[in-house]
A and B are shown apart, each in its own frame.
Chain A
């Protein structure tokens, strides 16, 4: 599975959009991009996934570049409860690879 690179930390003001980038330059054609988050020591929570098209659901939007080498998770109106570690994972099989992720701090 392709390796991913994410910034270790980001800040965002409450109510503003949080844009979390992920690099996955070695992604192959059958690999999906998944985003999860972990709040404190809770179980990881699924956010969104995509293959090549941009995706949107009730939690977030996922923008995947045309060459699929990077993606951005967008939380359109961040709240304090969105403070968490966000993980980008690229897989074709079963195993999610959680790197160190991006620790997002949403501030009042």
Chain B
């Protein structure tokens, strides 16, 4: 069964450093998403991406964040200057658009620890 993959599984970085989290969505999907989950809290939507542009973003997704689909298979989330509060699990998801709805498939997540 096709699945979303994410690398790395765990990333440790120092405050102020840039990080890039990588995702390989399911191959025939056209819609891509990033969510995050701070430890012990709910899963929060960050951004959705379609046709090489952002289709929707949350208040969390400020100028420190950016997304890119650099080639036909990868989807990345970049945090330019990490802060302690960026420590969280980051989930990538992808979906197709069938009969008016989106069934999102999530990856296993990347745990980001900012020290």
Contact = CB atoms under 8 A, between A and B. Distances in A.
B91 A44 contact: yes
A99 B31 contact: no
Contacts of A46: 103-105
B113 to A, nearest CB: 14
Given A32-B101, A43-B106, A44-B106, A95 B48 contact: yes
Contacts, number: 53
A42 B109 contact: yes
Given A41-B89, A43-B93, A98 B43 contact: yes
A43 B109 contact: yes
A45 B43 CA distance: 12
B65 interface: no
Contacts of B31: 94
Q: What secondary structure prevails in chain B residues at the interface with A?
A: strand
A44 to B, nearest CB: 5
B2 to A, nearest CB: 13
A108 B69 CA distance: 46
Determine chain A's interface SS by DSSP, over half rule.
loop
A100 B103 CA distance: 20
Interface in A50-108: 51, 87, 93-101
Contacts of A98: 35, 42-44
Nearest to A38: B43
Contacts of A99: 42
A42 B108 contact: yes
A36 to B, nearest CB: 8
B55 A94 contact: yes
Contact of B91 (A43, A49, A93): A43
Kindly list the 3 A-B residue pairs having the minimum CB-CB distance in the complex, ordered from nearest.
A43-B106, A94-B48, A98-B43
21 contacts: A32-B100, A41-B37, A42-B109, A43-B91, A43-B93, A44-B35, A44-B43, A44-B91, A44-B93, A46-B105, A51-B101, A94-B31, A94-B33, A94-B48, A94-B56, A95-B45, A95-B56, A96-B104, A98-B42, A98-B44, A100-B42
